[in-house]
Amino acid sequence: MIAEIIAAGSEMLTPHRQDTNSLYLTAQLNELGVQVAFKTIVGDNLGHLTGAARNAIARADIIIFSGGLGPTEDDLTREAAASALGVELRRDNTILTDLHKRFAARQMAMPPNNAKQADVLDGATVLPNPNGSAPGQIFDTTVDGFRKIVILLPGPPGELKPLFLQLVKPVLAATLPPRHIARRMLRMALIPESQVDARTAPIYKRHEDIETTILAGHGEIQLHFIAAKSTAIEAQARVDELAGLIEAEMEEAIFSSQGESLEEVVLLMLGLRHLTLAAAESCTGGLLASRLTAVPGSSRYFLGGAVVYSDQLKTTFTDVPAELVATEGPVSEAVCRALAEGIRRRTGASIGIGITGIAGPTPGTGPDAEKPIGLVYVGLADGRETRVKELHLTGDRDRVRWWASQHALELIRLSLLELQSF
Amino acid sequence: MIAEIIAAGSEMLTPHRQDTNSLYLTAQLNELGVQVAFKTIVGDNLGHLTGAARNAIARADIIIFSGGLGPTEDDLTREAAASALGVELRRDNTILTDLHKRFAARQMAMPPNNAKQADVLDGATVLPNPNGSAPGQIFDTTVDGFRKIVILLPGPPGELKPLFLQLVKPVLAATLPPRHIARRMLRMALIPESQVDARTAPIYKRHEDIETTILAGHGEIQLHFIAAKSTAIEAQARVDELAGLIEAEMEEAIFSSQGESLEEVVLLMLGLRHLTLAAAESCTGGLLASRLTAVPGSSRYFLGGAVVYSDQLKTTFTDVPAELVATEGPVSEAVCRALAEGIRRRTGASIGIGITGIAGPTPGTGPDAEKPIGLVYVGLADGRETRVKELHLTGDRDRVRWWASQHALELIRLSLLELQSF
């Protein structure tokens, strides 16, 4: 069984908007064991849409339309599907009554246009849509001796997703062989994708029944494993076995084996050790704090800190000696060390982080004038010792800032790994 | 002339990857006056790809393939296009020599597979690709009496974009009527899209020759205008005229008329007035500082501030009386006011911002326990007065935090508007 997804809407043929429903639908169909073989994006044009529908019915077994079920002249999915299938549209009185009720509830008369939302492919099952005025439809038919399942869904994701999940997926599952899916994801930070692949490919390639995907970006590598088996237990056992072998190979490079983000892992590890954290950020300008505080409940372990963007504030909030900034430059190992120690002392946190660097695009000034863009120092003070990492990052301002915050999180994680939790 | 874009590659039929080249190609084609009528995404399957190519040649005038020009068995675009067009592939000796040279330069022997990258549609023009091993092709032909331009481009954006811009666009431009494009974008914050549309639609609908697009999201509305005329001056005059009328209607709600972001506008306005800014953030946890410091050069006007996530730090860094926090609760107008005034005093900035709120998903504690999630106070102290806005935001933690930072930026902007620049 192969599927085609047709996204209807002229806005998705502009440079500004993209079809995203198909990503959700693809994930759902894959779980059922159905591969998506084609995606078509077509505008609000009856000829174009009907042609696309004809092609899809000829080449796919399951055809899902998203969008084009609204009340306007541009909403043409019903007409196109009917024409391509060679069936009539009949006006459904139950839907029509519901539509009138929706408008009455808002004390409005229904415009005549809206009645077309009650048009149903003759023989289709109506999928009531509690989140909008356009119901979906599922039409199970035979064309030239082949079974074709044609599904019409409204375009807004908040309507399409629950309709698919609650009313379409069970119908498709009932017609397909039973399949149970298990997934695992392992996450690593700051390690080259090529190195991960070189070390893990010999392992995951021995598990051909498990689909392995490596995704890389923003200083992180994700390894996704998906197994499909006839029982849920068997599927879970397979992905767990592979994940265990990869964990044994990559060891502490893996920060998360259940999908948690690096921020979440750091906060969790702080919690397990009854420790608190504070940060003094110069070049990242609050990015590290913002990432940590985006996690619900972070306030228990992250106290806050200072954004010491100006030289003056480095002294005001973290007691960095003004002479040190003047002689070494704000971007220096000594200032980074003083930031980490200063913020720890001033906030009373168990761990203090200091970050200072040149994010670009313009170079530093004064003693920093000759230092390269991308030079960043990340420091961690925990009361026993202060360690400072010197980084030479590449890329634009956003990338340097992001990677600096990523290095800070990874430095905290590795430092906490050394401390027993209790 | 209508175009179809075919993206070839099985990875774009997974839930993980999406075709994005088509957004770039669409923008480029639109500039030439060519509309994209269809986008097709198809996997690495010769039958599927050939069928998709046949459909495209039947329904579009310009057909652009992206991807599938590599050396592996899965790279089938050349074969599919040849089969759909009914032409032969001929092996191009110049390309073949270049391929051998590329490998020789890396002191490697070329694997036999790679020779297929020298296969060219018989009659096509080769587009040399300085950024990769797969050259592009343009094939200008006639099918059933209709002119068809078939273009093959490599998938990696870093190869596709320069090839299109330098070698394809000039060829297409030469075959199409001359057109010059002008664009303008107006940006507004925190105003409902429906209100913008109600007030501006009567104006932009009178300018039918200008394509107007409204995009909304993340607390911002963008109005995009595009005019295509036979001269650049005429096109610019048209979009400027419409932008001027919309500016007169929306007045100070428009924060940017040349595309700058809200952060950039705030920093620019601070610079024009020789003022500096600092922020004390509780619920946004550094997000405001992070947004401001993402702008190059922000260090001249944004001094930094404090992330006062814990109650203790509100006192340590901004001198908020501990009794005030205990009685009013950290999320209160009084604490917000004290944060704004305290950070201004402690940093010496011209303007101090205080933000405190309940981002959720868990409610506040102590005196804040009964306060609703989404309650946020944003305060601004400028030495003359301190103004505090009480907000009731909806949505999840990320949305509450983002909108709070957006309200803070807009509060700064509106407050600076009242001050003459000099």
* Series of mean pLDDT values for 10-residue runs along chain A (422 residues): 95 91 95 93 96 97 96 92 97 94 87 91 95 93 95 94 96 89 93 88 94 87 91 94 97 92 97 96 97 96 96 96 96 98 98 97 90 97 96 93 98 92 57
pLDDT of residue B111: 85
- Determine which of B18, B34, B290 to mutate to test the interface with A (most A C-beta atoms within 10 Å): B290
**Contact flag B303-A313 (C-beta cutoff 8 Å):** yes
Residue B31 clears pLDDT 80, i.e. is over it = yes
pLDDT tens track for B387-396? 999 999 988 9
Q: What share of chain B in percent tops pLDDT 70? A: 99
- Determine which of B23, B49, B307 to mutate to test the interface with A (most A C-beta atoms within 10 Å): B307
pLDDT of residue A189: 95
Which among B13, B213, B281 has the least Cβ separation from residue A36? B13
Residue B81 clears pLDDT 70, i.e. is over it = yes
- Give chain A's domains with CATH numbers: 2-175 (3.40.980.10), 180-256 (3.30.70.2860), 262-417 (3.90.950.20)
**Contact flag B284-A293 (C-beta cutoff 8 Å):** yes
Spatial separation of the C-alpha atoms in residues B232 and B254, rounded to whole Å: 26
Residue B33 clears pLDDT 60, i.e. is over it = yes
pLDDT of residue A422: 54
**Contact flag B284-A298 (C-beta cutoff 8 Å):** no
Q: Provide the number of CB pairs (under 8 Å) joining chain A to chain B.
A: 216
pLDDT tens track for B93-144? 999 999 999 889 888 888 888 899 999 999 999 999 988 888 999 999 999 9
B358 to chain A: nearest residue by CA?
A: A296
pLDDT of residue A178: 83
- Determine which of B309, B362, B409 to mutate to test the interface with A (most A C-beta atoms within 10 Å): B309
Instruction: Residue B61: list chain A partners with CB under 8 A.
Output: none
Spatial separation of the C-alpha atoms in residues B288 and B298, rounded to whole Å: 12
pLDDT tens track for B398-408? 999 999 999 99
Spatial separation of the C-alpha atoms in residues B152 and B164, rounded to whole Å: 10
pLDDT of residue A88: 97
pLDDT of residue B422: 54
pLDDT of residue B107: 85
Residue B420 clears pLDDT 80, i.e. is over it = no
Q: Report the gap between the CA of B308 and the closest CA in chain A (Å).
A: 5
**Contact flag A307-B317 (C-beta cutoff 8 Å):** no
Residue A418 CA to its chain's centroid (Å): 31
**Contact flag B294-A397 (C-beta cutoff 8 Å):** yes
pLDDT tens track for B291-315? 999 999 999 999 999 999 999 999 9
Q: What share of chain B in percent tops pLDDT 90? A: 81
Residue B171 clears pLDDT 70, i.e. is over it = yes
Asked whether the whole model's pTM tops 0.90, one would answer: no
Which among A38, A284, A347 has the least Cβ separation from residue B313? A347
Spatial separation of the C-alpha atoms in residues A37 and B242, rounded to whole Å: 44
